Structure 1
Amino acid sequence: MDEQKANVRSVERALDILLCFTDATDLGLSEISSRLSLHKSTVHRLLATLENKGFLIRDVQTEKYRLGFRIWELSANLTHNDDPATLLLPEMERLRDLVEETISLYVRDGNERIRIQAVQSRQPIRRVAPIGARMPLAVGASSKVLVAYDEPHVLEQVLNDPDWPEYVNREAYVEQLDQIKRLGFATSVEERELGTAAVAVPIFNRNGQLVASIAASGPSNRLTPEKMSEYAPYIMEAAYRMGKMMK
């Protein structure tokens, strides 16, 4: 491998290390090495570089790493006018107070959806929605919304995903998408997690383009099908206001 390719590979591996922290607060050398299937010596060298540059912080007692302040410095310079996670937060908080359930904002990335913002319910028993979580598009109310209202090639791409779960019937899935487009919203009950339910609607920008999905989620014994149908118009109204805020 020539020097240029080696340098590119090192950058890729360093970024892979940072991405390990999308679903974990702190990780040790062995955990990161196992996740990336890399030798500990290689990971140790990259961790030292990331720590030196301020992207990671090492706890001297536990020998575990967590994201450093340099990450937050970078995020502070996001263009907030174009960032839906920031721009739509006040509307999400207003919706949370209206339906009293956790509100999440999702975008599609390939054959996954990513939660880019969340406002937790104030209920004692609530759905906790971590920001940055990735989920498949085969199940879940927001997943089906993001596929139903996107271009036809997205549906084909999702249906042909080699990681499509065997327990999900493709024909039934397509029928659900047709129903979602007729109703204007999607619901799910215990499709991903036992005891949870969600209702989701699409967000279109001022040009009519699908940009995200907004969902209310909570315990399935409280967020019943009847309640979800009751809340759907409120969420659709909020989504309409959100869309008018986006270019």
Structure 2
Amino acid sequence: MSAPRNSVVHNVIDVLRCFSSEYPLVGVTEIADRVGLHKSSVSRLLTTLEAEGWVEQDSITRRYQLGLGLIAIAGPLLANLNVRQVAYPYLQELAETTKETAVLAVWQGSVAVTVEQIASDRTVKHTSPLGARYASTGSASVQVFLAEMSDEQVTTLLDEGTIELQHGWTRAKLRKRLEAVRKQGYATNLQETFDDEVGIAAPVYDHRREVVAAVLIAAPSYRSDEQTTQALIDQCVATAAKISTRMGNPDSQ
């Protein structure tokens, strides 16, 4: 059942929608007139939003404008959209060079989600549908994101059941695997989730040195011997570094 239109949440949304590029500064009276609320109600809402950093009051005009606190909410979405756009040509190049499927994944809450894919042009290939969600620790992309988390965060995800410990793994083995991922800069899934698939993933960093995505190569295991796998690792890491550079990461420049 939907919430009533006069709920606090709807009132907050209506107030925030009063701000635009045309009207970046808006006063209490103007907002009250637009949303149909009493000025005292609007004032209380703005006080709460100001405390959260979602709006700021201009010291001269006493009018309000949107605050930087909103970036904390919109930031992850904007980053995901941006990294997808930046990564696309590099994924194309990676798929053409390796003749395997190149994938871009982002972390969404407690799962790795496929947001872009360039499928291999070979008849036999592995693909990852857009929007596919991966929660197993055996997944190379999942390992990349978990490796950037604290042990406490990983433990919480395991305890809550939001990520799944790969069959046959112990938590101690997972910790060792994540330590290796952090040290070497990439993760592997060598037939661990599926007998016929090899997955290799490397992290993409932004200007804050934070992992915003993972580049993944998915290939059939029958054509991925030790030498080929190492070549795929090198190419995956190199591609992730190129994207990181474009995302402003100073360490990859």
Tell me which residue corresponds to 1:171: 172
For residue 121 of structure 1, give the secondary structure of its aligned residue in structure 2: coil
Alpha-carbon separation, structure 2, partners of 1:224 and 1:161: 37
Closer, same or farther: CA 221–161 of 1 in aligned 2, 3 Å: farther
Tell me which residue corresponds to 1:138: 137
- What displacement does 1:180 show? 1.4
Tell me which residue corresponds to 1:12: none
Alpha-carbon separation, structure 1, partners of 2:236 and 2:178: 18
Tell me which residue corresponds to 1:212: 213
Closer, same or farther: CA 80–175 of 1 in aligned 2, 3 Å: closer
Tell me which residue corresponds to 2:21: none
Q: Does 1:93 align with 2:62?
A: no
Tell me which residue corresponds to 1:129: 128
Larger Rg computed on CA atoms: 2
Unmatched 5+ residue regions in structure 2? 9-76, 249-253
Closer, same or farther: CA 184–80 of 1 in aligned 2, 3 Å: closer
Closer, same or farther: CA 225–95 of 1 in aligned 2, 3 Å: same
Alpha-carbon separation, structure 1, partners of 2:236 and 2:108: 23
Tell me which residue corresponds to 2:82: 83
Tell me which residue corresponds to 1:201: 202
Tell me which residue corresponds to 1:160: 159
* Cα offsets for 1:132-151 (capped at 9, x unmatched): 10110422111111111234
Closer, same or farther: CA 185–2 of 1 in aligned 2, 3 Å: closer
Closer, same or farther: CA 80–150 of 1 in aligned 2, 3 Å: closer
* Cα offsets for 1:103-150 (capped at 9, x unmatched): 111111122110011110111111122111011042211111111123
Amino acid aligned to 1:205: D
For residue 234 of structure 1, give the secondary structure of its aligned residue in structure 2: helix
Alpha-carbon separation, structure 2, partners of 1:81 and 1:213: 11
Tell me which residue corresponds to 1:4: 4
Root mean square deviation, CA, Å: 2.9
User: Are the counterparts in 1 of residues 189 and 200 from structure 2 also a CA contact under 8 Å?
Assistant: yes
For residue 188 of structure 2, give the secondary structure of its aligned residue in structure 1: strand
Closer, same or farther: CA 122–171 of 1 in aligned 2, 3 Å: same
Tell me which residue corresponds to 1:65: none
Closer, same or farther: CA 107–82 of 1 in aligned 2, 3 Å: closer
Alpha-carbon separation, structure 1, partners of 2:165 and 2:182: 23
Alpha-carbon separation, structure 1, partners of 2:123 and 2:117: 17
Amino acid aligned to 1:157: T
Tell me which residue corresponds to 1:245: 246
User: Are the counterparts in 2 of residues 198 and 217 from structure 1 also a CA contact under 8 Å?
Assistant: yes
Alpha-carbon separation, structure 2, partners of 1:129 and 1:88: 16
Alpha-carbon separation, structure 2, partners of 1:174 and 1:2: 43
Q: How many residues align?
A: 178
For residue 244 of structure 2, give the secondary structure of its aligned residue in structure 1: helix
- What displacement does 1:228 show? 1.9
User: Are the counterparts in 1 of residues 79 and 212 from structure 2 also a CA contact under 8 Å?
Assistant: no
User: Are the counterparts in 2 of residues 113 and 137 from structure 1 also a CA contact under 8 Å?
Assistant: no
Alpha-carbon separation, structure 1, partners of 2:221 and 2:181: 20
Q: Does 1:236 align with 2:237?
A: yes
Amino acid aligned to 2:116: Q
Alpha-carbon separation, structure 1, partners of 2:112 and 2:2: 36
